[in-house]
Every structure is written in C-alpha cells, then in structure tokens.
Structure 1
Amino acid sequence: MHTWVQTLLKPEPVALMVVLILLVSLFSGMRRGASGSAKHLFFFIWQAIAVIASLLLAGRGSVYLSPLVRDWLVERGIAVPKEELSALKQLWYTVVTSLRDFELLRFGVLFLLLYSLLRLALHALEPLLFGLADALLPNRSTDVRRGGGGSQLLSGTASRTTGAMIGALLGSGRAFIVMACLFVYVSVLPNAFGTDMIRASALYNKTASELLDPVAGDVLKRGPVISDAVEAEFRRVLERKYEVIDAAIPPDIEAAAAAVTKNSTTDEQKARALYDWVGTRIAYDWDKANDYVDRGVWKEQSPTDTFASRKGVCIDVARLYAVMARSVGLDVRVVTGVGLTGDGGSGPHAWNEVKLADGGGAWIPLDATWASSGDWFNPQGFANTHIREA
C-alpha cells in the first residue's frame, strides 16, 4: 500500500490526473451524503456490468454471425453493374461487397451493431433497477443507523464522512477505468501521440504490470498487429471503391484494349501488352503531383479523363490499366501502398495485380507508372520496392 501511495504522489501527468479524479469523487461523495453516494456507486457498478456484458456478448455474437452473413451475401449473387452508377449506388455496392469479402470489416460492423443493441436493451432496464435502488436506499434526509434502543437520524457529519468514503471508492473505480483505457491505447497504438509520456509514468507502469497485464494476458500484446490489420482492411475498402466506380467500361477504352491485345492468346500476354501500351502512352502528371504535395490540392480524375488527356499520377494510371484489363476478361485489382525509389526516397504509390487464370491462378504485380524507368512487369524483387499495405 505504501508503494502505491508513493507512486500516486509523484508529480507527473498520469498521477496528477488520478489524484484529481479521486479528489473530485471524494468531495462529491461528501456533498451527496451516505445514501446519495451509495446510489451513485450502485449506478457505476451497473454501468460497468452492462458494458462488460455487452462487450462479451457482442464479441461472441459477431463470431457466430459473421460466416452466416458472408454466406447469405454470397447466395444473393451481388455483382456490380457494368454501367454508370450514382454516388448512392457506388456507396451501396462498395459497402455490400466489402462486407461480403472482408472478414475483419464484417466482424467490426456486426460487433458495433450488436453492442449498440445490447446497450439499448440494458438501458431500457435502468428505470426498473434505479426505482428498486430508490426503494432500498433511503434518501439523504432519512439516513438512519441502528443503535441504543431505537432508530435515529445519522448526523450530518457521519453521513458526509460515509459519503466521502463511498466517493473515494467510486473514484478508485473511475481511476482504474481511465488507467485501463490508457493501457489499451498504449498497447494497440504503441507509437501514437502521448504514449511515451504515459509509459514514463511510475503509476501507470505499476498499474499495468500488477493489475492490467495479468488480466489482459496475450490479447493486447497483439495490439500493433490488430492495428495494422484494421488499417489494411480500411485500405482494401478504399481499393474496392475504385473497382465499383470504374465498373462501367467506356466504349473507346474497351475498343483500345481490344486492339492492343488482339494478337495475345494468354492472360500473361494480354496483361503484358496492356502494360506496354499504358506505360508508354500515359505521361506522369508532375503538375498534378506538385499541386497535391505543395498545396494540398487534389484533382480527382476518372479513367476516361486519363485516357483522353494521356497523363496522370500513379493512381490514375493504375485505374486506367484496371479498366482496360477488365474489358478483355482479366481479373485485376488496384493496389495501394508505398513505393521505394532505391535512392532513399519513398512515398504513397499505386500499382496493379493481375490474375493469370490460365496460368494456375497466380496473381502477378506490375507497375505501368514506372515503365519508363525499367521493366516493372512482374520482375524479381518487386515486393522490395512496392510495400503493399492492403
């Protein structure tokens, strides 16, 4: 106990925050008195039980429902129409196909939905429980104690003292929740803002090592992995957005792709012919890139715009390639990540992957944007310069 008090009294941000929570709760309990503080403690315990129960049930429910929802969506045979779609339809098909194909996203959506429904259901029980608490716990003006030959009102001092003690207990619970939130934050986002300050706190380290680590076990030690997985899933949804937006293939682009691949007989030959055509016909738009880097101005353009202007940045080139490849029957996707130039430079980048259905179903990478600097059609070491984030 003495060591806990010592760490609590050290003048650092986390300890000061906990001391403030304890003091506010203590004085609030003193002001409310014994019965008022007891009711607040009852409400606090109920809320904690409701949150924990909702989290556990939502987690188990999501694990059970996720494959059922996936199978149901697959059975619906949802396919993106090959036509111009309104913004609302683009959003609909992006969301529905992402829920069907991306497991982590589907689990997350189900978890949030189930958790919200469970919290609403438990919230509906609160009037009954709080009414019961009002009936069992006397009002502040009728606090009583048993003693002597009968009942007599608790003195104001005794009531306030009891209330302060209950308030301190309630403050300890609140402080523990705050420390648990900091523990989750540091575990899941170890390099985020403020984590160094939190880890420098003696009180946080003592709480984490003696109370939180044994409870969390190995779950939160995988926090960075979970965080990276969530980020990757988000990027996959963004890539799916391009697939939905570019589902309609303009006739002029379709005709050009057919002409480019007319002498190709295999998927690899088609993919290579389109790579050569796009890589030599579409110039890099340095003005657009500089506008974004220097002034934060982004000009969105469709594959039709890129095809007509014959210029664009990496995402524009990748989207045009994808549309042309799909028009000749290839399965292709736009990939986003980081490009490494080899001279120490790096930055956000986009390229493509094509599935060779007649070659064993392998996916091969290619980067038509970089075609002018070498052969980037499925070369050795492609993954060393293109760091895929989804």
Structure 2
Amino acid sequence: MHSWVQTLLKPEPVALMVALILLVSLISGMRRGASGSAKHLFFFVWQAIAVIVSLVLAGRGAVYLSPLVRDWLAARDIAVPKEDLGALKQFWYTAVTSLRDFELLRFGVLFLLLYIVMRVVINALEPVLFGLLDAVLPARGRDGRGRGGSPLIAGTASRTTGALIGALLGGGRAFILMACLFVYVSVLPNAFGTDIIRASALYNKTASELLDPVAGDVLKRGPVITQAVEAEFRRVLERKYEVIDAAIPPDIGAAAAAVTKGDKSDEQKARALYDWVGTRIAYDWDKADNYVERGVWKEQAPEDTFKTRKGVCIDVARLYAVMARSVGLDVRVVTGVGMTGDGGYGPHAWNEVKLADGGGAWIPLDATWASSGDWFNPPGFDKTHIREA
C-alpha cells in the first residue's frame, strides 16, 4: 500500500489526474452521505456489468452472424450498375459490397449494432432495479429525514460512510482511466502523449502489476490490429472508387477500344493501355503541391483526367481502371505507399490487372511512373510499392 501511495504523490500528469478523481469522488461522497453514495456505487457497478455483458454478447453474436450475413449478401448477387450513380446509391453499393467482401468491416459493424441492442435491453431494466434500490435506500429529503419521517443515519457517521464509499467509487473510476490509458498506449504506441504516459510511475506500476498480467498478451497485438483496421478501411476506399467509376463515359470507352484494337490477349490490352495512359497523362504538380502545402484536395473524375490530360497518381489509376474495364479487363485501383526519390515512402496509387487468359494471375502496373521506366509488372515491383491491405 505504501508504494502505491508514493507513486500517487509524485507530481506528474497521470498521478495528478488520479488524485483529482479520488479527491472529487471523496468530497462528493461526503456531501451525498451514506445513502446517496451507496446508490452511486450501485449505479457504477451496474454500468460496469452492463458494459462487460454487452461487449461479451456482442462479440460472440458478431462471430456467429458474420458468415451468415456474408452468405446472405453473396446470394443476393449484388452488382454495381454500369451507369452514373447519385451520392446515395454510391454509398449504398459501396457499403453493401464492402460488408459482403470484407470480413473485419463486417464484424465491426455487427459488433457495434449488437452492442447497441444489448445496451438498450439492459438499460430498459434500470427503472425496475433502481426502484427496488429506492425502496431499500430511501432518498434523503431536504430536511434530512426519510420518506417515512424517521431520522436518517445522519451527521458525522453518514458523511464518513459516504466519504469512504466515494473513495471506493473514485478508485474504480481511476482504475478505468488507467485501463483506458493502457489500451491507448498498447494499441497506438506512437500516438500523441504516449511518452508522457509511459513516464508515469503510477501508470507503470498499475500496468505491470494489474493490467498486463490480465490483458497484456492480447494487447501486445494492438499495433497489428490497428494496422489491420487501417488496411480494411483502405480496401473500402478502393471499393468506393470501383463503385464511383462503374459507369464508362463514351469518349473514354471509344479511346480504349481504339488503343487496344488488334490486341488479342489480356496482357496485350493491359500493356497497350499502360503505354497510352503513361504517355498521355502528365503529372499535376500544382494539384499535388496544393494538397501537401495547403491541405487543399481537388477531387476529379476519370473523365476530367481524360479531358485535361493531367492528374496525380490516384487520378491516373482511376482513368486506367475505367479504360481497362471498358475493354473487358478485370482491374482494380490499389492504394498504399510508393518509394520516393529520397529513399522513403509516400502515399501512392497504382493498378492491378487480372490476366484471365493467362491463368488468372493478377499483375501490377504503375502508369503514373511510366515516364521514369517500365513499371508494367517489372521484377521487384513489391519492393517499391507497398500495398496496405
């Protein structure tokens, strides 16, 4: 106990937050007295139980329902219409097809919905439980007497008991704070403020003696889980472009047909389109600088890129995808990071094309980089392009 008090008394941010929580809870308990503090303690414990039960049931329910929802959506044979779609339809087809195809997203949505349902059901029981609690611990009136008129356990004894219960509540709240900090540091080890948290003696003692033995093995995978979530949302972004660009403008379709005229194999068509896009579309440095320096992003459709003959990597990749689909190729826009001139990596986009007549293999290509060399399925492509998926 002495060592815990010593860590709590050290003047650092985490210890100060915990001390403030304990002090406020103790004073509040003293003011409420024994009866009021007991009700707050019951409410605190009830809420903790409700959260734990809801999380467990939602997790198990999501695991059970996820494959059922996937199979049900797959049986619907949902296909994105080859026409211009409004914003609402774009959102609908992106959401439905992503739920069907992306397991982590589907689990997350089901988990959230089931958790909300569980909390609604459990919260519906609160009036009954609190009514029973009121019968056992009657509320203190303004005159310090109970509903029946008999004196309550008041004065110093009531305030002392209330303060003790308040301190217990403060300990529970402080533990929740420490648990939240533990999850934050474990899942996002390089995020804002993590250095300050790790420097706290109180946090380190709580984490090593109480939290890590229980959840450490799970949360050590936190960064991996975070990367998986980021990758899943990146796949949803890629799906969004597939839905938005499902319609093929006539002029782009005609150009693609002319470019691939006489080509027989999928690889020949893919190569011809790569050469055409790579030599016709100039990199829009003004657009890139606007985004990097001012945070201003100009969204443009493939038809805009086709007409202006300018665009950044995502614009080039989207135009290539639309042209490739118009001649029957199975293609996708890939987002991730690409190697920069200084040896680092930065956000980038490119394409993958399926060679249906060549064994069904997917090959990568980067028409944006065509002016710097041959980036049509070259050896070592994955060393310069890292797909975050």
Given the two structures, how large is their TM-score scaled by the length of structure 2?
0.96
Map of 1:111 onto structure 2? 111
| Residue matched to 1:6 | 6
Q: Report SS of the residue matched to 2:353.
A: strand
Matched, 1:308 2:271: no
Q: Aligned letter for 1:211?
A: L
Query: Conserved in 1, the CA contact under 8 Å of 2:145 and 2:151?
Result: no
Q: Which residue matches 2:55? A: 55
Equivalent in the alignment of 1:124: 124
Query: Aligned-pair distance for 1:122?
Result: 0.7
Match of 1:259 in 2: 258
Segments of 5+ residues of structure 2 without an aligned counterpart are none
Instruction: Give 1:1-390 correspondences, 5 Å limit.
Output: 1-140=1-140, 141=144, 154-390=153-389
**Could you tell which deviates more after superposition, 356-365 or 3-12?**
356-365
**Aligned counterparts of 2:201 and 2:354: Cα–Cα separation in 1:** 54
Cα separation, 1, equivalents of 2:288 and 2:151: 81
Q: Which moved more, 1:12-21 or 1:257-266?
A: 257-266
Taking the aligned partners of 1:139 and 1:248, their CA distance within structure 2 comes to 66
Q: 1:387 aligns to what SS in structure 2?
A: strand
Is the contact made by 1:351 and 1:367 (CA closer than 8 Å) also made in structure 2?
A: yes
Moved more, 167-176 or 268-277: 268-277
Tell me by how many angstroms 1:155 deviates: 4.2
Q: Contact 1:257–1:324 (CA<8 Å) still a contact in 2? A: yes
Match of 1:148 in 2: none
Q: Hey, what's the Cα distance between the residues in 2 that align with 1:51 and 1:243?
A: 38
* Residue-by-residue CA offset, 1:330-349 (whole Å, 9 max, x unaligned): 11111111121343354221
Q: Give, as a single letter, the amino acid of the residue that structure 2 aligns with 1:271.
A: A
Question: Is the 2:282–2:311 contact (alpha carbons within 8 Å) kept by the matching residues of 1?
Answer: yes
C-alpha distance 68-152 of structure 1, shift in aligned 2 (>3 A): same
Residue pair 2:69, 2:100 contacting (<8 A) in 1 also: yes
Letter in 1 for 2:181: L
1:154 deviates by 2.9
Pair 304,36 (structure 1): closer, same or farther in 2 beyond 3 Å = same
Identity between Structure 1 and Structure 2 (%): 86
Please say which of residues 47-56 and 337-346 is displaced more in the overlay.
337-346
Report SS of the residue matched to 1:83.
coil
Corresponding residue SS for 2:81: coil
Q: RMSD between aligned alpha carbons?
A: 1.4
Cα distance, 1:139 vs structure 2: 3.4
CA spacing shift, 1:153–1:132, aligned 2, 3 Å: closer
Specify every segment of 5 or more residues in structure 1 that has no aligned partner in the other structure, as ranges. 144-150
**Structure 1 moving runs of 4+ over 6 Å:** none
Partners of 1:89 and 1:138 lie apart in 2 by 56
Number of aligned residue pairs: give it. Answer: 383
Note the alpha carbon deviations across 1:136-167, whole angstroms, 9 max, x for none. 12434458xxxxxxx98534100000010011
Maintained 8 Å contact 1:342/1:385 = no
| C-alpha distance in structure 1 between counterparts of 2:331 and 2:88, whole Å | 24
- Alpha carbons 2:331, 2:353 under 8 Å: kept: yes
Letter in 2 for 1:109: V
